[in-house]
Chain A
């Protein structure tokens, strides 16, 4: 690959490289480690789906990439657009890239459009911010963009205000704004979550059209595993601020190698299965990001957990030798081999029970097996959400 400067082995094709990105938010209770080392690369024209549950850090990751986090956030690591480092750029320097080379689509189209300006103005604004062209030309471009996202009668619609559009159409306007400058990367953060399913289908259609039209690579952040299955080429699964598995979409869905991914798939009711049988929930809840235990954060909920999981957090490593390439299938699990070719029901219980409150972890069953003195295992029982008062109550 023709390469510019010192990026390692042919990486210069990559449009976006995120390397060991971490984000901490200081709070009175200690730092919240919202993102704890995210690395991924985005190839041209590719769609990378990022999935995870609420609080897994998927949105914060993309806000960090765009440089949109509040000043209090402590961001470290590296984000490179082609060969340019983005972290540490001034706001003015970021402005030349934002909306131009990297565009973002937010979840809520009601709040991402300005209610007091006509949509045509807002579309033209995006164009004029980066191109010195006459206003009439920008307006023509605005109409063209509306047409691309299938807004009927674009020449009339361009002079209307956002409140005259329905939710789905507003989101399509947002998509049109994102593609206004033919970006290389579009980051879409839950673009269809606020929409009804039939409208979601229309918007996903527009999004795909936008991506095809501009040739942009896309990061699609969602909690909906169905949307990712249909849209993404590769998938990154996040848990507790870290990627726990990354790979081609088929690998992730048909051969997951991290118990969490397997558990997620088993929790999903399926539209296409007649005898679906029981669902297999993942017991417990995600850990607090303030005081994380030493080892793998999934340990308390994991059916495969062993002692080693309590002490050492596994790295994201290729699942086998064939997958060692940069876009290979990787998973962060000490027992990734044991996950292979299992169905969710093999590992997870078809239970309806709920695990103990997170504050109780470590106090009962897990405590017994921990003979060797490895660090503060009682970190587990410290959880910000669940005040210490109630714990005290119980002991009384």
Chain B
């Protein structure tokens, strides 16, 4: 037993000697591992320590082996060892920087916040045009500041996303990747931030996800979110947009049913400060339990009666009321929303009227109401107008009765003209009392009361009856093929 104990002890001592030799070997050959040993100079090592990570696109690809002072004492020299996968991405034009918490002022945002609770580390990025591979032992100049997010770090643009430009007087810390927020929810991101060619403002390219593009109308108000204090000494203060303290973002607000949807390339000027919106309560309709919609009958062509009222404001004369009435075609689009497609000239004063001096009108206080076949009268708002000026618009209805059915998709023809004009073509319209009527298109006297009427041939609706252009008095048949995919029927 004694001998066994001694032999066991001897084995342990020998094992420890082997273990020590192995540890020493690991440490000695740390730099000999397959990989790339580099040196990077910084003015300040920012507390970086040997053993810290080296990351590429957030993935650990190496380790910091040493932190030393340069011979002249002016720089810190960081010794890195990149694993083979990391070494493959390290090129002569790679940028290395130390990730530690960095604050760029209240509006400049913050980066490296993860290192508040983690050790500092080194990150590097290599442009798409990879330069020559680095040689082992290369001495590089590190960047003192992090590299800004690059386009390839942003989410891909998907078909249907809205791309627009926001004009701001000055950049308040926005950078590629900054969020675009609607009602506190991120709906998109900033793609780029550039100074305008004439230097008068900053152009911020925005991407709004296609799911959210209906939230951006020409009435939407944009602003760059910054912490905002409101209230009074005795009533108490409220601080909004506090989160922008460390990460500025773009916010916007729009109300459903107001304004028209914008197109790609839309340009909007940002508000100088957060508008003092009275945020409306959650609509009562949202509280209703979802009920299945009545299936659309294959035979049904659902019409709607539309009443448009607005005021054209005049500076030097009395305001002029604007009032139109007409028809539209009612159906449910792909997103399940109740929409009415009609003539834009019927629902958009700017498209139809002129001011007292023959110029562009200033339309205010728009109201659009829609009467459906069951007699219900609903509020509506434009969600889309044809970007090329054709007399076609789509309204979205609010508080739609659950049991109402729209036009069956089988009764719609969305691929151009079904028949030559005036030959076997009928207008389907709804009278103010809700009665529907069908009249031949060539019958005199149907103009202009039939604006927005559905144009059908052989029981298939293929167009909307409108005008031939902006402020034109000439009738036109506007094909439904102009409808964007998102607003086409289910």
A joins B in a complex: no
